[in-house]
């Protein structure tokens, strides 16, 4: 099986546009490049990756495309344009001509206005993504689920994937928060053609997390979306806040192996290949 990591990052904090990153963070605030991931990626049998934006700048997307040009293992780039600048349509059209540029990801989780994605002035961006045949990575929290449902119904032909299982509150697990998240995820799965990334769960859990802590969330994603719409992603190096690449990979395998080999192949290779048109 030619495994695909559907979500990882490379960055250099010295570029100065990773505004969410705490200066001096011992894990995150350092350069991560392809040669840093290669040993772990090879050990896990991951041949290709999807490189996802981590800065709300066009220049970071250009930086990632440069990495992709020089790195055969990077099969796709998910970048960024400013949805609040309609003139960025020209930039998006230019990016779309690059063979490895596959989609965009506004950093919605960092925008204070939970209804930002429904504002009239940003709709051109979603329309352009749909018209150009690009994909949309939905980055948010459980409170965004209702609006992502509305958005997908507004643009039913836009290929949308929910990043990091929409970041359920695993470390503060309680019946009410789980049900709110579970209901919202199930509704999107039922009423739209959206996909979901099995990623980001470890960083929403406590430091002493176990696979059992993650299983209710992983099981619900599998039950709701089915393997045909679920793709595994490492979220490396962010995952290193809780687990190394290989640890999360082996945990994800353990969380899915009961589904059978065809489903596992789909989750770890086929779904991302199809969704991102690799």
Per DSSP bridges, beta strands 195-198 and 101-104 are: unpaired
Closest C-alpha to 108, from 51, 179, 160, 67: 160
Q: What pLDDT, on a 0 to 100 scale, did the predictor assign at position 172?
A: 84
Has residue 130 got a pLDDT over 90?
yes
Domain hosting residue 67, numbered range? 3-275
pLDDT in tens, 157-168: 999 999 999 999
Q: What is the mean pLDDT of the chain?
A: 97
From residue 57, how far is each of 25, 29, 98, 274 by CA, in Å?
A: 21, 18, 18, 27
CATH number of the domain to which 251 belongs:
3.20.20.140
- CA torsion sign, 183 to 155 to 100 to 88? negative
250 pLDDT higher than 90: yes
Q: Where residue 63 falls among pLDDT bands split at 50, 70, 90?
A: very high
Integer CA distances (angstroms), 2 to 42, 46, 176, 194, 267, in order = 11, 7, 39, 24, 11
Average pLDDT over residues 13-17: 96
171-207 per-position pLDDT tens digit: 988 999 999 999 999 999 999 999 999 999 999 999 9
Number of structural domains, the chain?
Answer: 1
Q: What pLDDT does 173 receive?
A: 83
CA distance 187 to 185: 5
Q: Is the pLDDT of residue 1 over 90?
A: no
pLDDT at 266: 98
């Amino acid at each position: 099986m030619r495994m695909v990591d559907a979500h990882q990052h490379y960055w250099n904090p010295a570029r100065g546009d990773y505004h969410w990153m705490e200066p001096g963070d011992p894990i995150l605030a350092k350069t991560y490049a392809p040669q840093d991931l290669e040993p772990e990626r090879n050990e896990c049998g991951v041949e290709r990756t999807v490189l996802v934006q981590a800065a709300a700048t066009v220049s970071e997307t250009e930086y990632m495309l440069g990495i992709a040009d020089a790195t055969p293992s990077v099969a796709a780039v998910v970048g960024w344009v400013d949805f609040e600048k309609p003139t960025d349509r020209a930039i998006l059209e230019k990016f779309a001509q690059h063979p490895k540029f596959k989609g965009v990801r506004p950093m919605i989780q960092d925008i204070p206005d939970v209804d930002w994605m429904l504002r009239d002035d940003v709709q051109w961006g979603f329309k352009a993504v749909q018209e150009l045949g690009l994909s949309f990575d939905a980055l948010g929290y459980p409170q965004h689920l209702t609006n992502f449902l509305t958005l997908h119904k507004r643009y039913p032909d836009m290929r949308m994937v929910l990043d990091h299982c929409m970041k359920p509150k695993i470390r503060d697990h309680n019946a009410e928060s789980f049900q709110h998240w579970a209901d919202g995820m199930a509704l999107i799965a039922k009423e739209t053609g959206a996909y979901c990334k099995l990623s980001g769960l470890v960083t929403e859990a406590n430091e002493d997390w176990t696979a059992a802590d993650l299983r209710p969330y992983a099981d619900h994603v599998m039950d709701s979306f089915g393997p045909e719409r679920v793709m595994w992603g490492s979220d490396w190096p962010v995952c290193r806040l809780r687990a190394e690449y290989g640890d999360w990979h082996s945990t994800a395998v353990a969380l899915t192996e009961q589904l059978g080999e065809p489903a596992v192949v789909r989750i770890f290779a086929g779904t991302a290949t199809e969704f991102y048109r690799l």
